[in-house]
């Protein structure tokens, strides 16, 4: 069994990154021109890495499946980005941001990575402001902050409810500048189909041009995957329709270990499901929990009456409302971390207190009445106006007048490809950044930390660590894919895979199978997991995969634009990844963060970790189709932090 | 919220690829929930086409929450359809009536050639951004974020402009296919902030030159773009762009 080497640098926690940078290898400017780097994805991690590496002098090729790099789904992040600036003088520090992130992740993240993340968080804010990102400001002209879940300080920077958009457009502007200068070749509407490994190192990728259907190969000295998360395996999620796991999964099949696939985040505040043709779930930012109070009726008959439409939420007097987060977690109240808030919502709806008239009665209220009474409508409108407008367009109800209806929805993947401290996967030369890697959030991510991690990886980590890898690669001449058997073989395999998909010629649409996979995942690998349910899920996913390969229908041809083929290719990978997620969830006989095994909880319904047996990263090695993968363990050592059970009840 | 089901006819532009000629095809659809989004209605139609072994209709979309700017569609003569301040993906079927015929076309502009059906090529927008839509700073070595105080009103106005999602509705709506609203939003955002002020004139000049080169038309101040913009980007930004552009010309 391979021993995972996380390559954590020597020294005290606060010295590690400085030590690394002081001793790493560098590539001199004239050699940088001779080195090619491929970056797949143009979200926060991909765009920031592409721009930064090109500015340094490397030749960069950047790929995205969308029509423009500015569309990447980072753009949809609403609430904000954390940094340890302590501009509010409320006791924040790098250590506290580090501590909150480790604790929020339920002690399942790697200490050294998280400390580095907190260290560079302040640089991200400086960088974004320098690019012209219009963060919210106070009247005195300085930057404003808001609070987010899992923290008792205000450290979140924001640009209305569009922080992801503004940060992404900042990174996109830096990327655009480098494209204009000729330092980056940009390939929009091109999807990565496989990684090419030459002599044990990642040396390029095979792609499909989504407009022409053409299969092509691209060489690079190093490859970066910044391809986002995989929660569209649940079909319904807050991710974009095109968000997919294929790049990561193909890399996994080529030798990159997949870490903690069972750790996914179910965000507590999305708009509830409304119908069978629903295509996606819309998030309502966590920032709303600053001013909104979450409740369900105390009496079941009231919940029933609301579902039937005979009572309105405003008919329920305060004394008959159960503000269950404030009741259960007095110290953090409505600002408990996401996993805790989601589980609490499920607990209430499981007991029959849900307020939405959908088949599963899934829904709770997020009420702004109290904040409007206290602050006035104007203040609430200034803070959340665009979110309220979005809600009204979708639900056709005015959240200033009647409470918002919300329910947890799949939102983010903490799991991802295993990487070491340098963000390098188990394939040398293959780096993984942003949501696509597993590294910083443990078993649960805190709000406003995804933007921080994506940009930390791209602006301030990869530009150093990739150089360290490339320093002894300067003698490697650029390869011509047409002359290398490894590239040809990979291309042929991709073509064969596509032909296999096209030749099924069955009767079921891709989406109809994907919806069914999503239901299995939501019901059995979702918010509450059991041994029996997970075993059933594995059997059902296997059967569905068989059905897919026997009966999927893809009209049109592979040699032209074919959206159904794109979706089928992604679903084929989800049908394998979904099984690995269930396997991982089944092996982890504990509850931690977003992973709740119903067998392992306290009498009050809090998650029960088993630190003696499960304080490790579970990294899975692919062993072939329909073969049980191998588990590799990276033990987690906590030296700077005392491991405790998570407590949000008292301060 | 009163949900009901309606029957509609969808008249869609079908075009095999950039070189082929396109035609309108009509498809009847029954039992569409008024609570579904417009694109969910399109999903239902595509599902039906796949079941009938026909090629589904190609259209761009991704985030489905009105922020990525990928969706487009000219619906009954309006970019992003009949509702105001929404993208097509946020449009809901409750805005349509039982028995209605809904005509769906791609963006029509020389700057945005059709790729297939309702999907167009908007890479011209990226090229304009590459010509100057940035502040020329590299990663690292920048001042502390609070070292540059910015008046709240300026930051807010910059944010109003920065809200542009680059969807192209302004171009599709303009009788001259002008990209002035798009360009002005970026020029204005950065000109309002001290970080961007330094190269404001140069930026305006380069972005306008690229826009002209790519075949977008001139602005004749009809204001149609502002009306159809899903993010409510104001015409006032075009005035600021003109000011910056003139500055650049005077300096020459």
The closest alpha carbon to A243, from A264, A274, A259, belongs to A264
CA distance, residue B164 to nearest chain A CA (Å) = 10
Q: Which residues of B touch A560 (CB under 8 A)?
A: 17
DSSP string, A585-644: HHH--S-BTTB-BTTSB-TTS-B---HHHH-EEEEEE--STTSPPEEEEEE---SSS---
User: Mutate which of A29, A54, A173 to test chain B, going by most B C-beta atoms within 10 A?
Assistant: A173
Q: CA-CA distance, A41 to A172, in Å (whole number)?
A: 12
User: Mutate which of A563, A565, A566 to test chain B, going by most B C-beta atoms within 10 A?
Assistant: A563
Q: Can you tell me the mean pLDDT for A212-223?
A: 98
Which residue in chain A has the smallest CA separation from B83?
A393
Which residue in chain A has the smallest CA separation from B147?
A142
Q: Which residues of B touch A228 (CB under 8 A)?
A: none
Q: Which of A165, A459, A507 sits opposite B67 (nearest CB)?
A: A165
Residue B53 and residue A555: Cβ atoms within 8 Å? yes
Q: Which of A67, A142, A393 sits opposite B122 (nearest CB)?
A: A67
Residue B149 and residue A127: Cβ atoms within 8 Å? no
The closest alpha carbon to A534, from A580, A470, A489, A492, belongs to A580
* B226 contact A CB<8A: no
What distance separates the 2 farthest-apart alpha carbons in chain B? 63
Q: Which residues of B touch A556 (CB under 8 A)?
A: 55
Domains of chain B listed by start with CATH number: 5-116 (3.10.20.30), 123-251 (1.10.1060.10)
Residues in CB range of A224: below 8 A, 6 or more apart: A37, A38, A39, A40, A46, A49, A430, A431, A432, A433, A462, A466
Q: Can you tell me the mean pLDDT for A224-233?
A: 98
pLDDT at residue B44 in the model: 96
Which residue in chain B has the smallest CA separation from A386?
B231
Cβ proximity of A184 and A164 under 8 Å: no
pLDDT at A434 over 60: yes
Q: CA-CA distance, B169 to B177, in Å (whole number)?
A: 10
pLDDT, tens digit (0-9, with 9 covering 90-100), for A85-107 = 999 999 999 999 999 999 999 99
Cβ proximity of B22 and B32 under 8 Å: no
Q: Can you tell me the mean pLDDT for A582-588?
A: 98
Q: CA-CA distance, B194 to B135, in Å (whole number)?
A: 10
CA A645 vs CA A609, A635, A639: distances in Å: 8, 18, 16
To the nearest 10 degrees (0 to 180), the angle between helices B200-213 and B180-192 is 170
Q: CA-CA distance, A310 to A318, in Å (whole number)?
A: 18
pLDDT at B243 over 90: yes
Beta-bridged to residue A424, according to DSSP, are A431
Q: What phi, psi does A341 have (nearest 5°)?
A: -65, -40
Q: Which residues of A touch B137 (CB under 8 A)?
A: 127, 130-131, 174
Of chain A, the end-to-end C-alpha distance in Å amounts to: 43
Q: CA-CA distance, A28 to A603, in Å (whole number)?
A: 60
pLDDT at residue A161 in the model: 85
pLDDT, tens digit (0-9, with 9 covering 90-100), for B124-144 = 999 999 999 999 999 999 999
pLDDT at B91 over 60: yes
Q: Which residues of B touch A169 (CB under 8 A)?
A: 162
pLDDT, tens digit (0-9, with 9 covering 90-100), for A538-552 = 999 999 999 999 999
Residue B33 and residue A277: Cβ atoms within 8 Å? yes
One-letter-per-residue 3-state SS of A180-201: HCCCEEEECCEEEEEEEEECCE
pLDDT, tens digit (0-9, with 9 covering 90-100), for A259-283 = 999 999 999 999 998 877 889 999 9
Vertex A69, ends A67 and A74: CA angle to 5°? 115
The closest alpha carbon to B74, from B177, B185, B228, B235, belongs to B228
CA distance, residue A19 to nearest chain B CA (Å) = 19
pLDDT at B1 over 60: no
Q: CA-CA distance, A569 to A502, in Å (whole number)?
A: 10
User: Mutate which of B111, B139, B202 to test chain A, going by most A C-beta atoms within 10 A?
Assistant: B139
Q: Can you tell me the mean pLDDT for A423-449?
A: 97
Cβ proximity of B65 and B91 under 8 Å: no
Q: CA-CA distance, B100 to B6, in Å (whole number)?
A: 9
CA distance, residue A642 to nearest chain B CA (Å) = 32
Residue A396 and residue B1: Cβ atoms within 8 Å? yes
CA distance, residue A590 to nearest chain B CA (Å) = 34
Cβ proximity of A50 and A60 under 8 Å: yes
CA distance, residue B168 to nearest chain A CA (Å) = 12
pLDDT, tens digit (0-9, with 9 covering 90-100), for A353-387 = 999 988 778 899 999 999 999 999 999 998 888 88
Q: Which of A76, A173, A277 sits opposite B40 (nearest CB)?
A: A277
Radius of gyration from C-alpha coordinates of chain A: 24
Q: Which residues of A touch B196 (CB under 8 A)?
A: 132
Residue A275 and residue B33: Cβ atoms within 8 Å? yes
DSSP string, A419-442: --TTSB-SSTTEEE-GGGB--SST
Residue A580: pLDDT band (50, 70, 90) is very high
Neighbours of A91 (CB within 10 A): 9
pLDDT at A320 over 70: yes
Q: CA-CA distance, A499 to A572, in Å (whole number)?
A: 13
Neighbours of A309 (CB within 10 A): 9
pLDDT, tens digit (0-9, with 9 covering 90-100), for A148-202 = 888 889 999 999 889 999 999 999 999 999 999 999 999 999 999 999 999 999 9
Of chain B, the end-to-end C-alpha distance in Å amounts to: 60
DSSP type of residue A280: -
Q: CA-CA distance, A369 to A347, in Å (whole number)?
A: 24
pLDDT at residue A2 in the model: 60
Residues in CB range of A13: below 8 A, 6 or more apart: A98, A111, A112, A115, A639, A640
Q: CA-CA distance, B93 to B81, in Å (whole number)?
A: 11
Q: Can you tell me the mean pLDDT for B231-241?
A: 95
Q: CA-CA distance, A115 to B207, in Å (whole number)?
A: 41
Which residue in chain B has the smallest CA separation from A244?
B62
CA distance, residue B61 to nearest chain A CA (Å) = 8
Residue A138: pLDDT band (50, 70, 90) is very high
Radius of gyration from C-alpha coordinates of chain B: 20
Q: Which residues of A touch B129 (CB under 8 A)?
A: 70, 172-173, 176
* B244 contact A CB<8A: no
Q: Which residues of B touch A177 (CB under 8 A)?
A: 130, 134, 136
* B197 contact A CB<8A: no
Percent helix, percent strand, percent coil in chain B, to nearest 5: 40, 15, 45
Residue A619: pLDDT band (50, 70, 90) is very high
Q: Which residues of B touch A356 (CB under 8 A)?
A: none
CA distance, residue B234 to nearest chain A CA (Å) = 16
* B43 contact A CB<8A: yes
Vertex A160, ends A154 and A161: CA angle to 5°? 95
On the 0-12 / 13-18 / 19+ scale of CB atoms within 10 A, B52 is exposed
Residues in CB range of A543: below 8 A, 6 or more apart: none
DSSP string, A513-559: HHHHHHHHHHHHSSSSB-HHHHHHHHHHHHHHHHHHHHHB---S-TT
CA distance, residue B137 to nearest chain A CA (Å) = 7
The closest alpha carbon to A192, from A222, A238, A233, A226, belongs to A226
Mean pLDDT of chain B: 96
Q: Which residues of A touch B62 (CB under 8 A)?
A: 66, 71, 73, 240-242
**Catalytic residue set of A:** 338
The closest alpha carbon to A250, from A189, A205, A308, belongs to A205
What is the b/e burial string over A149-176, where b = at least 16 CB atoms within 10 angstroms of the residue's CB?
bbbebbbbbbbbbbbbbbbbbbbbbbbb
* B31 contact A CB<8A: no
Helices (H), ranges, A245-332:
246-253, 300-308, 324-328
pLDDT at residue A382 in the model: 84
Three-state SS at A444: coil
pLDDT at A257 over 90: yes
Domains of chain A listed by start with CATH number: 267-410 (3.90.700.10), 491-612 (1.20.58.100)
Torsion, Cα of A371, A377, A378, A382 (10° steps): 60
Q: CA-CA distance, A287 to A447, in Å (whole number)?
A: 9
Q: Which H or E run includes A207?
A: strand A201-209
pLDDT at residue A275 in the model: 77
Strands A616-621, A258-259: pairing is antiparallel
User: Mutate which of B52, B64, B68, B119 to test chain A, going by most A C-beta atoms within 10 A?
Assistant: B68
Helices (H), ranges, A57-213:
94-104, 111-131, 163-180
Interface of B with A in 121-180 (CB under 8 A): 121-123, 125-126, 129-140, 142-146, 148-152, 155-156, 158-159, 162-163, 165-166
DSSP type of residue B66: S
Residue A603: pLDDT band (50, 70, 90) is confident
Residue B152 and residue A211: Cβ atoms within 8 Å? no
DSSP type of residue B126: H
């Amino acid at each position: 069994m391979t021993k995972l080497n996380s390559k954590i640098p020597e020294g005290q926690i606060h010295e590690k990154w400085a030590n690394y940078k002081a001793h790493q290898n560098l590539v001199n400017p004239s050699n940088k021109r001779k080195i090619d780097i491929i970056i797949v994805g143009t979200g926060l991690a991909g765009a920031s890495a592409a721009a930064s590496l090109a500015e340094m002098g490397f030749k960069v090729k950047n790929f995205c499946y969308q029509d423009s790099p500015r569309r990447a789904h980072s753009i949809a992040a609403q609430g904000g980005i954390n940094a340890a600036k302590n501009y509010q003088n409320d006791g924040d520090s790098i250590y506290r941001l580090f501590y909150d992130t480790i604790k929020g992740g339920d002690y399942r993240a790697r200490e050294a990575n998280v400390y580095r993340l907190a260290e560079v968080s302040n640089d991200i804010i400086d960088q974004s402001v320098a690019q012209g990102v219009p963060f919210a400001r106070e009247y005195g002209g300085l930057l404003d902050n808001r609070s987010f879940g899992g923290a008792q300080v205000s450290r979140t920077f924001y640009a209305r409810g569009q922080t992801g958009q503004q940060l992404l457009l900042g990174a996109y502007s830096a990327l655009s500048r480098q494209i204009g200068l000729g330092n980056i070749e940009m390939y929009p509407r091109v999807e990565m189909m496989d990684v090419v490994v030459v002599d044990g190192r990642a040396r390029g990728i095979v792609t499909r041009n989504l407009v022409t259907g053409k299969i092509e190969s691209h060489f690079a000295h190093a490859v970066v995957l910044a391809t986002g998360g995989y929660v569209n395996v649940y079909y319904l999620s807050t991710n974009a329709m095109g968000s997919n796991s294929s790049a990561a999964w193909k890399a996994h099949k080529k030798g990159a270990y997949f870490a903690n696939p069972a750790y996914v985040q179910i965000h507590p505040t999305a708009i509830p499901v409304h119908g069978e043709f629903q295509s996606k779930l819309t998030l309502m930012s966590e920032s709303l929990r600053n001013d909104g109070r979450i409740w369900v009726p105390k009496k079941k008959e009231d919940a029933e009456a609301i579902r039937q439409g005979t009572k309105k939420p405003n008919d329920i007097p305060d004394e008959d409302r159960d503000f269950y987060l404030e009741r259960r977690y007095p110290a953090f109240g409505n600002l408990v971390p996401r996993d805790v808030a989601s589980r609490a919502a499920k607990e209430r709806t499981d007991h029959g207190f849900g307020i939405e008239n959908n088949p599963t009665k899934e829904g709770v209220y997020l009420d702004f009445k109290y904040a409007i009474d206290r602050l006035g409508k104007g203040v609430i409108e200034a803070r959340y106006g665009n979110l309220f407008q979005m809600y009204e367009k979708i639900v056709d109800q005015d959240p200033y007048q009647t409470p918002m209806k919300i329910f947890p929805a799949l939102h983010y993947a903490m799991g991802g490809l295993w990487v070491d401290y340098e963000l390098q996967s188990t394939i040398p030369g293959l780096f993984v950044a942003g949501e696509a890697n597993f590294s910083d959030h443990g078993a649960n991510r805190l709000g406003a930390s995804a933007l921080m991690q994506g940009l930390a990886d791209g602006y301030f980590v990869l530009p150093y660590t990739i150089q360290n890898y490339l320093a002894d690669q300067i003698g490697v001449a650029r390869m011509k894919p047409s002359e290398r058997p490894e590239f040809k073989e990979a291309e042929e395999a991709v073509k064969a895979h596509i032909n296999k998909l096209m030749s099924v010629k069955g009767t079921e649409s891709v989406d109809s199978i994907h919806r069914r996979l999503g239901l299995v995942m939501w019901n059995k690998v979702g918010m509450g997991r059991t041994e029996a349910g997970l075993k059933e899920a594995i059997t059902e996913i296997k059967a569905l995969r068989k059905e897919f390969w026997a009966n999927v229908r893809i009209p049109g041809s592979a040699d032209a634009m074919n959206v159904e083929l794109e979706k089928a290719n992604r679903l084929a990978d989800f049908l394998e990844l979904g099984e690995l997620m269930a396997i991982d969830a089944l092996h982890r006989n504990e509850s931690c963060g977003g992973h709740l095994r119903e067998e392992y909880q306290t009498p009050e319904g809090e998650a029960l970790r088993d630190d003696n047996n499960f304080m490790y990263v579970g990294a899975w090695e692919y062993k072939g189709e329909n073969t049980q993968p191998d588990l590799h363990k990276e033990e987690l050592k906590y030296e700077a932090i005392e491991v405790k059970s998570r407590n949000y009840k008292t301060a | 919220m009163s949900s009901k089901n309606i029957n509609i006819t969808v008249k869609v532009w079908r075009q095999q690829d950039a070189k082929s000629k396109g035609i309108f095809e009509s498809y009847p659809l029954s039992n569409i929930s008024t609570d579904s989004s417009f694109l969910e209605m399109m999903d239902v139609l595509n599902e039906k086409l796949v079941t009938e072994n026909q090629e589904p209709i190609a259209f761009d979309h991704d985030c489905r929450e009105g922020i990525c700017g990928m969706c487009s569609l000219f619906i009954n003569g309006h970019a992003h359809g009949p509702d105001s301040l929404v993208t097509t993906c946020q449009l809901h079927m409750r805005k349509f009536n039982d028995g209605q015929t809904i005509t769906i076309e791609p963006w029509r502009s020389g700057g945005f050639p059709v790729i297939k059906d309702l999907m167009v090529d908007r890479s011209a927008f990226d090229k304009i951004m590459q010509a100057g839509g940035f502040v020329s700073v590299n990663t690292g070595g920048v001042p502390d974020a609070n070292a540059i105080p910015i008046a709240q009103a300026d930051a807010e106005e910059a944010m109003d402009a920065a809200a542009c999602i680059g969807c192209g509705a302004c171009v599709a709506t303009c009788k001259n296919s002008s990209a002035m609203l798009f360009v002005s939003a970026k020029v204005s955002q950065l000109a309002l902030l001290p970080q961007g002020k330094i190269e404001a004139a140069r930026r305006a000049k380069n972005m306008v030159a690229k826009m002209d080169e790519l075949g977008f038309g001139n602005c004749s101040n009809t204001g149609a773009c502002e009306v159809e913009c899903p993010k409510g980007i104001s015409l006032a930004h075009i005035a600021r762009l003109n000011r910056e552009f003139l500055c650049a010309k005077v300096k020459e």
